[in-house]
Structure 1
Amino acid sequence: MDKDLTLWLVDKFNCDTEELEFDEGISIPVRPLVKFVLGIPSGPIKVIEGLHVDDALYEQYTWDTRGKKAKEVAEEMCSITEEEPFCIAFMMAILAIYLAPNTSVSVSRSFLGAARQVGNLKQMDWCNLVADCLFKGIKDYKQSDRLCVHVKGCVHILSVIFIDLAKHPTLIVPDGFPRLSVVTTEMGCFTSKWVVAHPFGSFVPVRCLEESVYAPVLNNMPNGNTVEGVKCSDSDSNTDALADQFAITDTDQNNNKHPILAELGNARTTHNTSSSPIVEHVVLDTPARASGT
């Protein structure tokens, strides 16, 4: 994931409208695209942070009074054979490494209460949680007056959306959902040579959604209706590529791992970054820029 591209897209994001604003008046709503980019569950159950958990479970994900490093959780997960603790470990690791990362790449114990509801994981609205974390991270970045500031959240989503929409003769993206399985780090657009040859700026034209790979699913995008305080979406159009992994069986653990899950054990982690061929969390430590969006 290119740092310059990511910062450019963060600058293009309007925190009030939750849209990427490009030239020629093209605005792209990001929240409804999360589902089609990541393929994670967008069910009717809201993900609530801070639910009570027993002390034993809390301590299991604690190191020196803080959340345990995600890399350590991912490594421990590989040796777990029981379904419930495995699913909890998977959710805690994937949230910390990719879906809702913080600056330290440590697990957020506030998600433990939700992650332990193994039977309901597929019915939870993880899409809105991911969007909320990303938008808050961008807003905090833009509003900060500190010399250096991190951008938290799954910023990779913005890059995938832009690559899907960018108009360039050398950039050809195949169809298919979720987009995360199609727009991979093996594509030339994610290499430094492509970025140098095609620097991102105002001259880069983008397609509107109606002319993009998202056109076939426009009618199936979440409409944002609120029912009893819960964001809902059309379950018939759910592209939950990770959903089955949110209710993993012992056979799945050993033989049919999702590509993201398979790479967790090999993720390279430092205090500021955690990456793998498919999952990549990049912490952007750059001078903060004032913005009114």
Structure 2
Amino acid sequence: MDTYSNLPIGSSVRETYVVHSPSRDKQIGFVRKIGFESILSMKDFKMDKDLTLWLVDKFNCDTEELEFDGGISIPVRPLVKFVLGIPSGPIKVIEGLHVDDALYKQYTWDTRGKNAMEVAEEMCSITEEEPFCIAFMMAILAIYLAPNTSVNVSRSFLGAARQVGNLKQMDWCNLVADCLFKGIKDYKKSDRLFVHVKGCVHILSVIFIDLAKHPTLIVPDGFPRLSVVTTEMGCFTSKWVVAHPFGSFLPVRCLEESVYAPVRNNMPNGNTVEGVKCSDSQSNTDALADQFAITDTDQNNNKHPILAKLGNLLYISQLQRPVP
């Protein structure tokens, strides 16, 4: 099987970042406090390489839209907030901020950023809020939200990650979108035989499943979408990819006819989405709080060690151009 095909996402993320007793509840509390609890509620999802590369091809780097047959164009940037449920506050995430030598060296191995697996492993034993949150952010950025072509953390994010008190007020959604769009643009410009798509490509699959018209596909409402969309909902896509040429792919709904209709008016043409409270507010609405909640059942289902399936995460958001 291809390294990048059918890779499980949700269980790996939860097993990596949901920490077991006695420090487990305390660390989950830290994650909630900084506004990233939606990551812990992510449903299991298997990436399909062919579908994802097709979606990458459908993405217009100039308009930042997925362009489908029938003249339907879907803006991706304003949907990131509703897919991921992470903070999209008023503070811009700035890369390359100065940090002290001690912190920089803590995330350095030789002359490069430390391996993300090692950072996540060390995170599991941290019980103090600030160092735990820094480690969490560095690991989740490198592994899922803003991955590059390596498995190392990007130390350019350290200056932002260390501002633990402001993490919930930062615009992480725009950062994730920027990294994904740049990754797609670099991929399309490259004429190399082997080149990876950098960025959180999981977003594209979730959006497509939410919009696809198919008689057997029933997509429930609720936000964030990563806590709703599962492999079972999207399994038809891989079968369709095999059975149909991309020229006759599934039709899609416009946003007004989709699960995004209730929040459509909260998506301005600019770079930010206002009005709907996700994890960027001081307190979530009851409906969204329910979506983000981590139940006892969720916790009890995570019986494996924290790093049991971390290896799967390293390839979730990095797809490689197929060999002709």
Would you call these one fold, judging by a TM-score over 0.5? yes
Pairwise CA distance, 1:241: 11
Q: Distance in 1 between matches of 2:295 and 2:251?
A: 45
Pairwise CA distance, 1:185: 3.1
Q: Distance in 1 between matches of 2:205 and 2:257?
A: 18
1:26 corresponds in structure 2 to 72
Q: Distance in 2 between matches of 1:228 and 1:181?
A: 21
Deviation string 1:131-151 (CA, Å, 9 cap, x unpaired) is 000000000000112222111
Pairwise CA distance, 1:233: 13
TM-score (norm 1): 0.77
2:51–2:238 Cα contact (<8 Å) kept: no
Change (3 A) 1:202 1:241: farther
Change (3 A) 1:241 1:141: farther
| Structure 1 unpaired stretches of 5+ | 267-288
TM-score (norm 2): 0.70
Q: Distance in 1 between matches of 2:277 and 2:287?
A: 20
SS of equivalent to 2:166: helix
Larger displacement relative to structure 2 (243-252 or 212-221): 243-252
SS of equivalent to 1:259: coil
Deviation string 1:55-98 (CA, Å, 9 cap, x unpaired) is 11111111121111111111111110000000000000110111
Change (3 A) 1:91 1:241: farther
1:43–1:233 Cα contact (<8 Å) kept: no
Q: Distance in 2 between matches of 1:249 and 1:183?
A: 18
Larger displacement relative to structure 2 (123-132 or 193-202): 193-202
Larger displacement relative to structure 2 (202-211 or 13-22): 202-211
2:315 corresponds in structure 1 to none
Change (3 A) 1:3 1:237: farther
Pairwise CA distance, 1:257: 13
Q: Distance in 1 between matches of 2:301 and 2:106?
A: 26
Q: Distance in 1 between matches of 2:114 and 2:293?
A: 23
Pairwise CA distance, 1:211: 0.3
1:179 corresponds in structure 2 to 225
Give the number of equivalent residue pairs.
Answer: 271
1:235 corresponds in structure 2 to 281
1:42–1:238 Cα contact (<8 Å) kept: no
Change (3 A) 1:170 1:139: same
2:263–2:276 Cα contact (<8 Å) kept: no
1:75–1:265 Cα contact (<8 Å) kept: no
Q: Distance in 1 between matches of 2:212 and 2:266?
A: 22
1:52–1:113 Cα contact (<8 Å) kept: yes
Change (3 A) 1:98 1:129: same
**Residues 1:35 and 2:81 aligned together:** yes
Runs of 4+ in 1 over 4 A off after TM superposition: 190-195, 197-201, 225-266, 289-293
Question: Percentage identity across aligned positions?
Answer: 94
Deviation string 1:95-125 (CA, Å, 9 cap, x unpaired) is 0111000111211000000000000000000
Larger displacement relative to structure 2 (68-77 or 230-239): 230-239
Pairwise CA distance, 1:173: 1.1
Change (3 A) 1:226 1:155: closer
Q: Distance in 2 between matches of 1:245 and 1:203?
A: 31
Pairwise CA distance, 1:236: 9.8
